[in-house]
Chains A and B, each alone.
Chain A
Amino acid sequence: MFHSLGKYILLLRLSFRRPEKFKVYWAEVMREMVSVGIGSLGIISIISVFIGAATTIQVAFQLSSPLVPRSIAGSIARDSTILEFSPTISALVLAGRVGSSIASQIGTMRVTEQIDALEIMGVNAPGYLIAPKIIAGMAMVPLLVIVSIALGITGGYIACLASGDVTPADYLVGVHDGFDGLTVRVALVKAVVFGFIIASICAYQGFYTSGGALEVGQSATKGVVYSCVMILFADLVITRIML
């Protein structure tokens, strides 16, 4: 375990070595941002609306007491969406979508000697392949989380309109009441950390792939599993520190 941790840290250090030509690396960062951000927008939008809607209905179901104002359902759904569902579930979905793609792409490059070809040319392969993915992950996951929060809260509103468990007006009052900016800051910190975890762990798994197609698949699976575990662990740590 310590051997792997050491290799992971050394790989990260190599990844952030001074680039040979900034312009070429910048183009890679932009390409990865499009791949991570635009490419994941669809799935993130869909899950966010459904999770927001389901959360609101469940909160309304649990707060059926006449002593509790109905608007509280909006507040709880909002905070749950901002603090937990949007950052964490989005990150878990992104680990599957983006992380497996990163691990299999880099792993395939390794087993087909494309990484060797980069190194022979004098290119810092970790820097060229991994750093743009980490930067893109850390930049785009927070943006996706912001979109997810907005759509999650909208999903809750749609659920109110459709089910009538809570009136839309009560829901909106709840969403506005007692809003604390700290929750959004916590969500963004989580998103940045999760973006780093997904890109770096999956890139590490891909970079040290050896063998053939079977091992590339195994690297992708390991990358996703380890990323998910680390996301949940980081979620706990950040929540404990910041709240």
Chain B
Amino acid sequence: MIEIKDIYKTFGDNDVLKGISATFQTGKNNLIIGGSGSGKTTLLKCIVGLHEPTKGDVFFEEENFTDMDFEQRVPIRTQIGMLFQNSALFDSMTVEENIMFPLNLFTKQTKAEKLDRANFCLERVNLAGKNKLFPAELSGGMKKRVGIARAISMQPKYLFVDEPNSGLDPKTSILIDELIDELTKEYEITTVVVTHDMNSVMGIGDNIIFLHQGQKWWEGSNKEIAHTDNKELNDFVFASKFMQAAKSKL
């Protein structure tokens, strides 16, 4: 479980996050949604420690992550997997080397064990046999899947995903969402997904936080979102005619 308490983040004169508190449950897909510039990615970066919050605390299972220095954070960070918006695979390494990279640094496994783990992760994301390819040789969807394979290589307790569907076709987007959902449920991972893809929201949103102007505007599940009377959320979720039509059938 991850708990954030009263998170503020300011860049110069710009207050991006204004006192956000939330709890992200274990074994559930926790989605952070909101319009562009609402502070979704900033919040995610504050949670994982890429940005230091101006004020507020982040707790990983009761441990205050915000108060820790770099060395103290390492044990928690080895339990974190993250899929970046552009996958952030290491260009100079093959798919296999990308997946084995955290294993090389933080485990005492033999080379054969690491290779087995890499092959397992690749099979898990349906990319078996692609070990020797370089990131430049992969499609956008394949890069995302390798990113997921790398994120789960250390058997993380926490999975953070930033815009998993950006730049993907609808079919591949659904495959990625299903994969995230399966992994979350199968391994009891606390998953936090930043997205503005409505298919993801309706498909895998166990717990959804809607950010608006740097504040938490609404919280609920994908079942509740269709029946909310929150104006800003409705404007965001049902902005397209397709979603409006879908809502009328719900």
Contacts and interface: CB of A to CB of B under 8 A. Distances in A.
B50 A114 contact: no
A121 B105 contact: yes
A108, A114, A119, A120: residue with the most chain B Cβ atoms closer than 10 Å: A120
B242 interface: no
Given A112-B86, A113-B88, A114-B88, A120 B73 contact: no
B172 interface: no
Given A20-B105, A119-B50, A124 B88 contact: no
A122 B60 CA distance: 15
B74 interface: yes
B106 A122 contact: yes
B84 interface: yes
A24 B105 contact: yes
Given A20-B106, A117-B82, A122 B74 contact: yes
Nearest to A20: B105
B88 A122 contact: no
Interface string B80-100: 101011101111000000000
Contacts of B25: none
Contacts of B121: none
A124 B69 CA distance: 12
Nearest to B85: A113
Contacts of A24: 104-105
What interface size band does chain B fall in?
A: 20 to 34
A123 B102 CA distance: 8
B104 A120 contact: no
A195 B154 CA distance: 37
B88 A116 contact: yes
B48 A120 contact: yes
A3 interface: no
Contacts of B86: 112-113
A119 B77 CA distance: 8
Contact of A120 (B70, B75, B80, B89): B80
A21 interface: yes
A123 B70 CA distance: 10
Interface in A8-29: 20-21, 24
B222 interface: no
Interface string A95-121: 000000000000010001110110111
Interface of B: 48-50, 70, 73-75, 77-78, 80, 82, 84-86, 88-91, 101-102, 104-106, 154, 160
Given A112-B88, A121-B101, 7 more contacts: A113-B84, A113-B86, A116-B84, A119-B50, A120-B50, A120-B80, A121-B154
For the complex of A and B, the 10 pairs showing the least CB-CB separation, nearest first, are A122-B77, A113-B88, A117-B88, A122-B74, A113-B84, A120-B82, A20-B105, A121-B102, A114-B88, A122-B78
